[in-house]
Amino acid sequence: MVQSPPIDNLTISQKTEFDRDRFDQSVMPTYGRFPIAIERGEGCRLWDTEGKEYLDFVAGIATCTLGHAHPALIAAVSEQIKKLHHVSNLYYIPEQGQLAEWLVNNSCMDKVFFCNSGAEANEAAIKLVRKYAHTVLDKVEQPIILTAKASFHGRTLATVTATGQEKYQKGFTPLPTGFAYVPYNDITAVENAIADLDEGTLSRVVGIMIEPLQGEGGVRPGDLEYFLKLRKICDENNILLVFDEVQVGVGRSGKLWGYEKLGVEPDILTSAKGLAGGIPIGAMLCKDSCAAFEPGNHASTFGGNPFVCASALAVLQTIETEGILHNVQARGEQLRVRLRAIAKKYPSLFTEVRGWGLINGIELRADIDLTSINLVKAAMEEGLLLAPAGTKVLRFVPPLIVSTAEVDEAVNILERAIAKVA
Cis peptide before 6 (omega within 30 of 0): no
Q: Which of 57, 113, 114, 152 is catalytic?
A: 152
Reduced to 3 states (helix: H, G, I; strand: E, B; else coil), residue 269 is strand
Helix residue ranges per DSSP H, 10-107 = 20-26, 59-62, 71-83, 94-105
Q: Phi and psi (nearest 5°) for 147?
A: -130, 170
Question: Of these residues, 57, 131, 244, 307, which one is catalytic?
Answer: 244
Residues 6+ apart with CB under 8 A from 136: 290, 292
Active-site choice (131, 255, 273, 392) = 273
Residues 133/310, Cβ–Cβ less than 8 Å = no
d(CA 198, CA 208): 14
Q: Tell me how many degrees the CA angle 41-407-350 measures, rounded to the nearest 5.
A: 115
Q: What letter represents residue 165's amino acid? A: Q
Q: Is the dihedral of CA 369, 374, 379, 384 positive or negative?
A: positive
DSSP state of 365: P
User: What distances in angstroms separate CA 60 from CA 24, 38, 63, 84, one per listed residue?
Assistant: 21, 11, 5, 26
Say how far apart CA 125 and CA 322 lie, in whole Å: 32
Strands 268-271 and 240-244, sheet pairing: parallel
What 3-state DSSP class applies to 329? helix
- What 3-state DSSP class applies to 300? coil
Question: Is 152 designated active site?
Answer: yes
Q: Is 114 a catalytic residue?
A: no
Nearest to 203, CA basis, from 257, 272, 134: 134
57 labelled catalytic:
no
The set of catalytic residues is: 152, 244, 273
